[in-house]
Amino acid sequence: MTSDYRKMWESIGLNLEAHDQLLQALPPAYGQVYMSQENRPDGMEYFDFVVSEVHGLRIQELQEHKAKGGKVVGAFCVFVPEEIVRAAGGLCIGLCSGIEIGTAQAEKVLPRNICPLIKSFMGFKMAKVCPYFESCDMVVGETTCDGKKKAFEILNDFVSVHLMETPQMKREKDRTLWRSEVRDFLSGIEELTGNKVNKESLLQSIREVNGKRRALLRLAGLRKNKPAPISGKDSLLIEQIAYIDDVARFTAQVNSLCDELEARVREGRGVGRQDALRIIVTGTPMAIPNWKVPHIIETCGGVIVAEEMCTGLRYFENTVPEEGETIVDMLESIADRYLGINCACFTPNEGRMEKLIQLSDEYKADGVINCSLAFCDPYLIEANRIDKALKERGIPVLKLETDYGQEDSGQLKTRIEAFFEMLSQRQVVRTPCI
């Protein structure tokens, strides 16, 4: 990114010294994790460009939108209905953070032993190092865990927060509650933007977001092939960028990449070795630049073929019906679509277990790695149910607990290598003698 952006960063209130330190740390990490890969699809060039301009060109686009009277809404969770924001003329941007930054500032208002994701997004805001955060006119929180719920109270001291109450169960009365929350969200967005959502604008927005989801579903489907035509790291990067990029441009680029991958499949060309272990990753979301575990997996002889995560299938696996006759109909369809997400906040959460079993079969996975962030109680506790359900089906699973630091990389590598050794022995046992 050029120095031309410095005036823009200063105008939105960034701490330029701290921001410079962040930008200096990203290129080496990105180069090590991504640019060292062999046989990458040519279509990944666009997504590399997005990362190179992640705090530049896209932020400039947001500022141009705001200069025309548009609003920017930040979201921390896949439960926030992007369709509603777009229907009112706003832009919805993902804000969850995947790096340790602003820790000293965050710990002034948060306990030390708290989920790294919560500490990270609070640190980003308090240290003023995230231009996406500083571009937001409002951020949307949700009650998917107690830590986030209470942190949003504090965050509201620094930026306007609209809180959506996410049900903890999926009964009919919970569905009724969630539908009312979606209607309230619509009212809040209309008030923020000054624009009234109508049937036409909402339907158009639903179609646009569905288009993005279908492109990602197409990409996910291509990864069922053996050998996989794209690495899990590259797929994760695309899924992370989906939260911040322009919807129409992103959709077109993903579909173009899929055209290339389909040609690769026809030619039998893939990434990694033909016998690479096929791994599904599940657990807490991995926001940019949290690439530690995927990088270890794919440098230890594995290839990630699916992510059962919020930075993964949960974000795009279901679309909103496009045949609603009224705004009320469409809002109910939107609410029902989002309530179908298998977040660990729900009890019981049998849908997640069933999805992992289904994915293991569809993607011909050799094993599942369940990776949770430290102090993320919902996912750490639910790991017990995942472990039980998968082992009952004979699906090998490895439980990992980590944070955003690099200090445990060696330990993680050792455990993943041992897991892969066990999976390789299973392959030998299953392979008939010739």
Mean pLDDT of 37-47: 96
Domains of the chain by residue range: 3-430
Q: What is the DSSP letter of 283?
A: E
Residue 32 to residue 87: CA distance in whole angstroms: 40
What percentage of the chain exceeds 70 in pLDDT?
97
Return the beta strands (E) in 203-291 as ranges: 277-283
Q: Which amino acid is it at 48?
A: D
In angstroms, the CA 189 to CA 43 distance is: 35
- Distance CA(88)–CA(57), nearest Å, equals 23
pLDDT tens digits along 77-127? 999 999 999 999 999 999 978 898 888 899 999 999 999 999 999 999 999
Burial degree of 392 (CB within 10 A; 0-12, 13-18, 19+): exposed
Q: Is the pLDDT of residue 431 over 70?
A: no
In this predicted model, what pLDDT tens digit does every residue of 368-394 receive, in sequence order? 999 999 999 999 999 999 999 999 999
Pairing of strands 367-373, 277-283: parallel
Instruction: Report, as an integer, the average pLDDT of 204-212.
Output: 98
Task: Report the pLDDT value the prediction gives residue 21, as an integer from 0 to 100.
Answer: 87
Whole-structure pTM value? 0.95
Q: Is the pLDDT of residue 224 over 60?
A: yes
Return the pLDDT at 1.
Answer: 54
Burial zone of 96 (CB within 10 Å; 0-12 exposed, 13-18 middle, 19+ buried) = buried
Q: What is the pLDDT of residue 167?
A: 97
Check residue 276 and report its DSSP letter: P
Q: Alpha-carbon distance 48 to 416, whole Å?
A: 27
8 A C-beta contact, residue 58 and residue 50: yes
Instruction: Please report how the helices 247-267 and 199-222 are oriented relative to each other, as an axis angle in degrees rounded to 10.
Output: 30
Query: H or E segment at 105?
Result: helix 103-106
Distance CA 90, CA 80 (A): 13
For 267-295, what is the mean pLDDT?
94
Strand bridging mode 277-283 / 161-164: unpaired
pLDDT number for residue 428: 54
